[in-house]
Amino acid sequence: MLLHVTSLPGEYGIGDLGPESRRFVDFLEQGKQRLWCVLPLGPTGSENSPYQSRSAFAGNPLLISPQLLLEAGYIARKQLQAVPRFSTSHVEFPRVRQYKYGLLRKAFSQFSETREYSAFVVRNHWWLESFATYMALREANKGVEWPDFAKESRCPPEEIRFHKFTQYEFFRQWGLLRKYCRARNIAIMGDMPFYVEHDSADVWSNPQLFDLYQDGRPRTVGGVPPDYFSRNGQLWGNPTYRWRKLEETGFKWWVDRFRVALETVDLLRLDHFRGFESFWSVRAGLATAREGRWVKGPGARLFKKVLKELGHVPFVAENLGTITPAVEKLRRQVGFPGMAVLQFAFGEDATHRPDHYVRDLISYTGTHDNNTTRGWWNDLRRSAAGRNHSAEVAAVKRVKSYLQTEGREIEWRFIHAILTSVANIAVLPMQDLLGLGTEARMNLPGRAKGNWGWRFTWKQIKNAMVWRLRDLTEVTGR
């Protein structure tokens, strides 16, 4: 099941690591599901994208559970009695951030260092110190990007300690949730972005590893050329890497990044895997990603080092978009399974059709970047109705013929198709299980604002749906 933590129900405006996440795990267990897929867990930037993080190593404080703060004795029960009225269907990020950080500061004011906290700080000092300092400096500089920090900026030690506390609490709560999952035989698949945010602790503390001007601003940024997600391509704005510098260090930053990720999750999806073979480099300042060029990445040299340092790594390669034979050669060389997305199966690319699947594959009805299956189908039919002899008309015919349906319960036709396929893992977005339309879409690639906010409610889950999922999972041997 694909569901980001932010999309969980709850009264605090955003999904978190507390009781509601455990209730979701119970739901997964009841439905005979074995894998919970989440999006990146790092602290997000101004547009709330989990793929634009302030740190490659830190956790997102917005996911900290107020209920678990109460149970730990950091806050009093009366401090949870005046919770603002938040939307139950959508995350109101500015309001949630204001509320959550106010609560975290109250918890910090009543926190006394413990042996566990001290051990956490010592064990993670190598990334935690720079992250906490960077976050404190951002606040001291009123949120400007780090190249604009005042040269004589100073921040109180207590402010640095506050950010260390939020990281300690995030990983304490995450550890409790993972323990709860393991007891129910449910693994967690995480997601690692290829790039990091320019305005991040990593770029601030390691500028030599990124393609920057002397003033710290990006020289080139990452993205992808025009594809089926966006006619102008996607311009992400993250600085590209100086791979030669990284290789001179033995790829230490990447090895450390992979090590920390694998201590946090059971499997790891590598977003934009094709960037390791070649990445789309765009001169900073351009309006779109159209005017870019492919630049060679580190290829197998990086993964040879990772495998030497870490041993077997349970990675999944996100091999969607502009994929060349060289990218697939690299994926096979390092031995990572790829992905197939059923929504892509009814155009000209037949590799996403279940009859083309292999066992070593992760199959999806759709991903966080896709429309929901019901929303996709409704859009496709509307588009086909408005154009004669178009690609959309052909796609509608292929869907109806391949799935033997006129479109009723289209999401269940999709679910059935990937669960009965030979792919070792089948992933269902929660929105598809609930049969929701475009209103429940998580992200629209190429759109900067208005993403990542969708949440479900427990009222949307019906017993008949859970038993239907359980029966289908059992009968397909999953």
SS3 category, 174: helix
Which member of 20, 271, 392, 432 is catalytic?
271
Nearest residue to 228 (alpha-carbon basis) of 383, 393, 445: 445
**Nearest CA-CA partner of 204 in 59, 48, 56:** 56
Phi, psi of 22 (to 5 degrees): -70, -35
For residues 37 and 25, give the distance between their C-alpha atoms in angstroms, rounded to a whole number. Answer: 12
Q: Which of 163, 193, 208, 196 is nearest to 54 (CA)?
A: 196
Helix (H) / strand (E) containing 341: strand 338-341
Indicate which residue of 191, 202, 211, 369 is catalytic. Answer: 369
Clarify whether 215 is annotated catalytic. Answer: no
User: Which amino acid would we find at residue 250?
Assistant: G
Is 369 known to be catalytic?
yes
Residue 58 CA: distances (Å) to CA of 29, 94, 320: 29, 20, 27
3-state secondary structure at position 343: helix
Collapse the DSSP code of 426 into the 3-class scheme (helix H, G, I; strand E, B; otherwise coil) and give the result: strand
Give dist(CA 391, CA 383) in Å, integer: 10
Query: 20, 199, 318, 411: which is the annotated catalytic residue?
Result: 318
Find out whether 445 and 234 touch, Cβ atoms under 8 Å: yes
Does 471 qualify as catalytic in the annotation? Answer: no
Q: Are 452 and 6 in contact (CB under 8 A)?
A: yes
Catalytic residues, by residue number, are 271, 318, 369
